Amino acid sequence: MTVDLNRLILGKSYNSTKVFRTAQHVVQAILLGVVVPALILLLIWDLTDNPNPVPGVVVIAGLVMLCFFFSYVFVVPDDLTSSATDRTLAIASKIFAYTSRGLTPEAALGASKIILSETIASAICFTDGKQVLASWGEDSAKCPAGTPVVLRTTLNVINSGEQSVFSRDASTETGGYFPRLRAGIVAPLTVRGHCVGTLELYYPRLGSIDMRQTALASGFADLISTQLASFELERQDELTARVELRALQSQVDPHFLFNTISTIVSLVRTEPDKARSLLIDFSNYYRQTLSDSDTLTTLEHEVEQGTRYINLMQARYGGGRLRVSVDIDFEVRDSMVPPFILQPLLENCIKHAQRETEPLSIRVRAFETDDGLEIIVEDDGIGMSEEVCAHLFEQHRREEPESITADGSIKRGCGLALFNVLQRIHFFYGEDSGMRVKSQEGVGTQVIVELNGDPHEPAPMKA
């Protein structure tokens, strides 16, 4: 990446101090190569009787050309390369300072200012494929963050992943932002082969866009894409660590472990067949929990894991306290889904939605939609207020996971499970998929998981 930007920036204006120093070197070399030979020639001419100056002029001309050649080949390129390298590193460092934690509106605005200063574009714009993240330059006030993407070229680049140049004067583009700027370049920002946004450079006219400008746009887009991919890897490593920690906590949870064993022991004499069945569920449940959490599984397999957990909980609380129904369309049973997205939702229902005396009913549904797959987990428990429901996925909920009590207040224990499920959905399916929560106090809660498009299967993690 640095090499490409070096080549691009080498063609732009250089640091004035650096160029002046280079010019001084050239002048000194020329004077040294002209004055000294001229003095020698005059001395020879004065000491000889040959009045013909032609041989001397030829010698001087050759020496002058040699000085020019030496200055051009040895002095200028080294100095310019050093200047371009310094400039490249400075630009990359500035952009990295903004985009190292993802492409947020603040990061996009900072990067826009840097890129505008390094090109002849009149305005810069970043989008996430759906809306404008930030813009800077001429008429940028008319294109604030949150403006929906309407530029046809942007939509085409999002779908194709290929950089494109447009011109309103050529009638190839009629919509969009910055109406007084008649041409532009739209470059894709890609992570793991998926276009996650665009970098857009706008110019007064199509003639302003040359090969250098298109190469600059491509270079900056590649640089930012690389940084976004690096951030995504860091984010996934952090997510994996948190998921593994959560799984480890669940594996050694003494309450769940001892209560389940006690339940099975109590059934050994009275209902040996049921005890044997629960023991098999218990063994399979922990075997699956210990398996690889970064490989897609079928929906049917995920439902089986959730059913094992429900069987253990029903044995503990009794069939009268906990009623569960599962309705999975046959067409979606083999659909690939992220592992460990159903069991945490069922666990939340049982731990945080039950009333003190009344039974709890849980219903699990899954069916095909126009965009993909939808999974719904709903209960008729205590529910929660609109205010609490609206803030379930906020940052402080993730750092200090909490749940809802019967009186609508908040206590620790719930938010991390929902956050982990949402993050796993985003990792495997992208930002177009997600999770919604609907709840009403005293009525119940509904969690809707939307899996749109095709999932992304990550490469196996190295030990």
Would you say residue 252 lies in a domain?
no
| Rounded Cα distance, 147 and 145, in Å | 6
Question: Strand, coil or helix: what is 14?
Answer: coil
With 60 as the cut, is the pLDDT of residue 119 above it?
yes
With 80 as the cut, is the pLDDT of residue 9 above it?
no
Which residue matches tokens 């494109």?
A: 164
| Rounded Cα distance, 444 and 380, in Å | 4
Least confident of 25-29, 285-289, 309-313: 25-29
What is the percentage of the chain residues whose pLDDT exceeds 90? 29
In this prediction, residue 174 has a pLDDT band, given cuts at 50, 70 and 90, of low
With 90 as the cut, is the pLDDT of residue 95 above it?
no
pLDDT score at 197: 93
Terminal Cα-to-Cα distance of the chain (whole angstroms): 28
Q: Do 336 and 383 fall into the same domain?
A: yes
Could you give the C-alpha distances from 365 to 141, 381, 434, 455, in angstroms and in order?
A: 47, 17, 16, 20
pLDDT score at 111: 92
Q: Do 82 and 122 fall into the same domain?
A: no
- Number of domains composing the chain: 3
- Could you count the other beta carbons within 10 Å of the beta carbon of residue 357? 6
With 50 as the cut, is the pLDDT of residue 237 above it?
yes
Q: Which residue has the higher pLDDT, 412 or 100?
A: 100
Would you say residue 244 lies in a domain?
no
Compute the average pLDDT of residues 109-130. 91
Greatest pairwise CA separation for the chain in angstroms? 134
Compute the average pLDDT of residues 232-246. 69
pTM above 0.75, yes or no: no
pLDDT tens profile 410-455: 444 456 678 878 888 888 888 889 999 999 998 999 999 999 988 8
- Could you count the other beta carbons within 10 Å of the beta carbon of residue 264? 20
Would you say residue 463 lies in a domain?
no
List alpha helices for 161-298, DSSP H.
Answer: 211-251, 254-270, 272-289
pLDDT score at 19: 42
In this prediction, residue 292 has a pLDDT band, given cuts at 50, 70 and 90, of low
Could you give the C-alpha distances from 17 to 20, 79, 84, 447, in angstroms and in order?
A: 5, 12, 13, 63
Query: Where is the domain boundary, 99, 115, 145?
Result: 99
- Could you count the other beta carbons within 10 Å of the beta carbon of residue 91? 20
| Rounded Cα distance, 116 and 44, in Å | 60
Compute the average pLDDT of residues 392-412. 47
For residue 222, which of 202, 195, 248 has the smallest C-alpha distance? 195
What 263-268 contacts at long range (C-beta under 8 Å, 24+ apart), as own/partner pairs, is 263/312, 263/315, 263/316, 264/315, 267/315
Q: Which residue has the higher pLDDT, 321 or 172?
A: 321
CATH number at residue 316: 3.30.565.10
| Rounded Cα distance, 164 and 133, in Å | 20
Q: Do 54 and 202 fall into the same domain?
A: no
Q: What is the DSSP string of 47-79?
A: HSS----HHHHHHHHHHHHHHHHHIIIIIHHHH
Least confident of 36-40, 76-80, 166-170: 76-80
| Rounded Cα distance, 339 and 427, in Å | 12
Q: Do 73 and 105 fall into the same domain?
A: no
With 80 as the cut, is the pLDDT of residue 404 above it?
no
pLDDT tens profile 210-219: 888 998 899 8
For residue 214, which of 192, 199, 229 has the smallest C-alpha distance? 199
Q: Do 81 and 116 fall into the same domain?
A: no
358: left (phi over 0), alpha (psi -120 to 50) or beta: beta
Which residue matches tokens 């709840």?
A: 439
Would you say residue 251 lies in a domain?
no
In this prediction, residue 179 has a pLDDT band, given cuts at 50, 70 and 90, of confident
Could you give the C-alpha distances from 409 to 78, 101, 399, 403, 441, in angstroms and in order?
A: 68, 33, 18, 8, 11
Domain assignment of residue 379, given as a range: 292-452
pLDDT score at 275: 92
With 70 as the cut, is the pLDDT of residue 49 above it?
no
In this prediction, residue 5 has a pLDDT band, given cuts at 50, 70 and 90, of very low
Which of 30-34, 76-80, 338-342, 406-410: highest mean pLDDT?
338-342
Would you say residue 250 lies in a domain?
no
| Rounded Cα distance, 411 and 131, in Å | 36
With 70 as the cut, is the pLDDT of residue 78 above it?
no
Q: Which residue has the higher pLDDT, 6 or 236?
A: 236
pLDDT score at 256: 78
- The whole-chain average pLDDT of the chain stands at 77
Q: Do 167 and 42 fall into the same domain?
A: no
Q: Which residue has the higher pLDDT, 114 or 43?
A: 114
Query: Where is the domain boundary, 51, 83, 99?
Result: 99
Q: Do 341 and 446 fall into the same domain?
A: yes
pLDDT score at 325: 92
Q: Do 310 and 446 fall into the same domain?
A: yes
**Contact (Cβ atoms closer than 8 angstroms) between residue 59 and residue 36:** no
Three-state secondary structure readout of 89-137 = HHHHHHHHHHHCCCCCHHHHHHHHHHHHHHCCCCEEEEECCCEEEEEEE
CATH number at residue 120: 3.30.450.40
Compute the average pLDDT of residues 15-19. 40
pLDDT score at 449: 95
With 90 as the cut, is the pLDDT of residue 135 above it?
yes
pLDDT score at 339: 85
Q: Do 178 and 200 fall into the same domain?
A: yes
Query: Where is the domain boundary, 231, 256, 281?
Result: 231
Question: Strand, coil or helix: what is 304?
Answer: helix
| Rounded Cα distance, 357 and 229, in Å | 50
In this prediction, residue 307 has a pLDDT band, given cuts at 50, 70 and 90, of very high
Q: Do 304 and 436 fall into the same domain?
A: yes
Q: Which amino acid is at 351?
A: K
Q: Which amino acid is at 84?
A: A
pLDDT tens profile 339-364: 888 988 998 898 888 888 888 999 99
Strand segments, DSSP code E, in 266-390 are 297-298, 322-328, 336-337, 360-368, 372-379
